[in-house]
Structure 1
Amino acid sequence: MYNFIEHVNGSEPEAVEDEAKYAQFMERIENGEKIEADDWMPEEYRQTLIKLISMHGISEIMGALPEKEWVPKAPTLYRKLGIMAKVQDEMGHGQLLLRVAEDLMAPYGRSREDLMMDLLSGDLKFHNVFHMETRTWADAGVIGWLVDGAAIISQTNMLDASYGPYQRALQRICAEEVFHAQHGEAIVMALAEGTPEQKAMLQEAVDRWWPSLLMFFGPGSAETTGSSKQEVTTKYKIRKSSNEELRQAFLDKYLPRVFSLGLTIPDDTLRYDEEKEQWEYEQPDWNEFKQIIKNNGPRSAERLRLRELAYENNRWVRRALSNEPVVQA
């Protein structure tokens, strides 16, 4: 990670300088200071941020696609306008985050263009929930209410992240995600209070999405071996809580709301342990999770192909903006 090779001229090893810089860096983080793009940072910190922020940014873009499928099929003009605005917001979030990632990648000569190529080649993954199917209009409600609700819990956990550009971007994103969750909640409430067929459609959507919602925050410590991303991001104060703590916060917030609508959860083992002060539940299939994030999910291939087509069809726009000369045939 660090360069521990002595200078050829026999002077002090670079490791000494790097260790001193690392100590100063960690002191700044412990004091609550924000690290900026042009500040010195250890390679582990930079690489962790690049992976986290680029995955977050790409997931915002890919996350717009499941709901985009329902724009032409929304039941009313009012609902159509709402979901169109949400899709537009998500794409904007993605562009904002990829710009933050681009600054971090500058020392390697990499750009947003490279990130898109990494996505299409399978090197850059997107969030597991956005590989799933959206079969009915109820899915649009569940995504807005519960998936975006889970995203808010995950992202607010990093609202005081040590990397300043990411922290500031999250402040804007989280504020807009609150509106997205309200949008989803409005759809869910309408269906829950609607006809028996509408409520059955909503229950079926909740049943299908439940494993994905549990997987949303990633495996807990019991499902991982060795040093995990959780430990690294916590060490550098990029995040505060563990995956399981975030999952428990989600269950605490949303299970009472789900039950209040007369809906059920497809888990007979689900219960609140008063002694442990936490929810006990059936673990999702983490082997399935690993397959999904390898782009082997129900709609992985279709979503990636749609992103590839959009990228290719709009190549002329990128050329025009970059003043790249157009070669005449």
Structure 2
Amino acid sequence: MYHYVEGGDSVSNDRQQIDTEKYEQFMRKIEAGEKIEADDWMPNDYREALIKLISMHGMSEIMGALPEKEWVPKAPSLKRKLGIMAKVQDEMGHGQLLLRVAEDLLTPYNKTRDDLIQDLLSGKLKFHNVFHMPTKTWADAGMIAWLVDGAAIITQTNMLDASYGPYQRALQRICAEEVFHAQHGEAIIMALAEGTEQQRANLQDSLNRWWEPLLMFFGPASAETTGSSKQDIMIKYRIRKNNNEELRQAFLDKYLPRVFALGLKVPDETVYYDKEAHQWKYKQPDWSQFRKIIKNEGPCSKERLALRKIAYDKNSWVREALA
């Protein structure tokens, strides 16, 4: 996203030696389980991996509130309305917290949180594939809170011991609140599963539409598929512990038995548990469609970005007053 080079194009042997020593000290520190802070020395690829990860995470929290926000006035009861309103408020708070963490990392580039917003609106900064999708029924609000937030909990708890201290501390708070969000979603799903024939039909229809986006949530399995070694960099620097496929398998292990227990079916007849391999087998989603979605060519991409821009423009007076 941003490229920062200290000292220009030519670097002396002495400077290279200093940077090598700093890098070795940095690696010893994270291998010992110590935390890197915002004003500590860090290699450029570590900084840039964090900026990309944390800014995308923060924007996904903000953009993820939009499909649920649509259901605040349409929730079926006052209790459900209050629940989803509280969830939307939490997600926006998570986003603001994460953008503050990302902003500290942008200091060497003379960039701010506002630059991240502009990058989102221009399409340079991506947000999660699931939040480009439509929410057609109340069952979708439950599916997002139960399975999408469930997937998010798996990815975020995988980074609860991240080597970057400010992000790790933010995740402690976020994960605790996400557990309540998942319980909120599970309550909606259980009510629909025990409801009328039409409610169960809506629930099954929702799962059918969300299944492939949920598999895509964790990203492609390998660098060969993505053309990127981002997973390797983050594991190397102890930002995360597991790769995309391991996280997807953890999600399937946790949630497929619950889905089946509700009498629901996943829209993939190839799904089965391989006892010898100790993992679920499934049909790979269409990764070309995934790449299209994250380029803001999904079903609701333009609509959601337009809503974000309206909110940004209408509330400019708040930013000006605070400044």
TM range (shorter): over 0.9
Give the Å deviation of 1:6. Answer: 3.9
Amino acid at match of 1:201: N
Give the Å deviation of 1:5. Answer: 2.8
Relative distance call for 1:225 and 1:75 in structure 2 (3 A) is closer
Q: Equivalent residue for 2:93?
A: 92
> How many aligned residue pairs are there?
318
Mapped to 2, the partners of 1:99 and 1:120 lie a distance apart of 18
Q: Equivalent residue for 2:210?
A: 209
Does 1:5 find its partner at 2:6? no
Q: Equivalent residue for 1:300?
A: 301
Q: Equivalent residue for 2:274?
A: 273
Q: Equivalent residue for 2:162?
A: 161
Give the Å deviation of 1:107. Answer: 1.4
Contact 1:152 1:174 in 2 (8 A): yes
Amino acid at match of 1:234: I
Amino acid at match of 1:143: I
Give the Å deviation of 1:108. Answer: 1.1
Amino acid at match of 2:60: S
Contact 2:59 2:95 in 1 (8 A): yes
Mapped to 2, the partners of 1:100 and 1:224 lie a distance apart of 30
Q: Equivalent residue for 1:261?
A: 262
Contact 1:2 1:43 in 2 (8 A): no
Q: Equivalent residue for 2:319?
A: 318
TM-score by length of structure 2 reads: 0.96
Q: Equivalent residue for 1:326?
A: none
Higher mean Cα deviation, 180-189 or 102-111?
A: 102-111
Superposed counterparts of 1:1-329, under 5 Å: 5-7=10-12, 12-221=13-222, 224=225, 227-322=228-323
Give the Å deviation of 1:13. Answer: 3.0
3-state secondary structure, aligned to 2:106: helix
**Which structure 2 residue ranges, 5 or more long, are not aligned?**
none
3-state secondary structure, aligned to 1:34: coil
Mapped to 1, the partners of 2:252 and 2:60 lie a distance apart of 23
Amino acid at match of 1:286: W
- What fraction of aligned residue pairs are identical, expressed as a percent? 73
Mapped to 2, the partners of 1:154 and 1:172 lie a distance apart of 15
Contact 2:223 2:229 in 1 (8 A): no
Mapped to 2, the partners of 1:222 and 1:20 lie a distance apart of 29
Q: Equivalent residue for 1:327?
A: none
Give the Å deviation of 1:227. Answer: 4.7
Amino acid at match of 1:5: S
Amino acid at match of 1:267: D
Contact 1:2 1:18 in 2 (8 A): no
- Partner deviation per Cα, 1:25-59 (whole Å, 9 max, x = no partner): 00101100000000000111001100100000000
- Partner deviation per Cα, 1:277-298 (whole Å, 9 max, x = no partner): 1000010000000000000000
- Partner deviation per Cα, 1:123-152 (whole Å, 9 max, x = no partner): 000000000000000000000000000000
Give the Å deviation of 1:106. Answer: 1.1
Q: What do you get for the CA RMSD once the two structures are aligned? A: 1.2
- Partner deviation per Cα, 1:74-114 (whole Å, 9 max, x = no partner): 01111000000000000000000000000000111111100
Report the structure number with the largest CA radius of gyration.
1
3-state secondary structure, aligned to 1:179: helix
Mapped to 1, the partners of 2:138 and 2:86 lie a distance apart of 16
Relative distance call for 1:317 and 1:284 in structure 2 (3 A) is same
Give the Å deviation of 1:222. Answer: 7.0
Give the Å deviation of 1:224. Answer: 2.1
Contact 2:220 2:226 in 1 (8 A): no
- After TM superposition, which residue ranges in structure 1, 4 or more long, deviate above 3 angstroms? 1-4
Contact 1:5 1:15 in 2 (8 A): no
Contact 2:223 2:231 in 1 (8 A): no
Amino acid at match of 1:271: Y
Give the Å deviation of 1:259. Answer: 0.5
3-state secondary structure, aligned to 2:280: strand
Mapped to 1, the partners of 2:193 and 2:115 lie a distance apart of 44
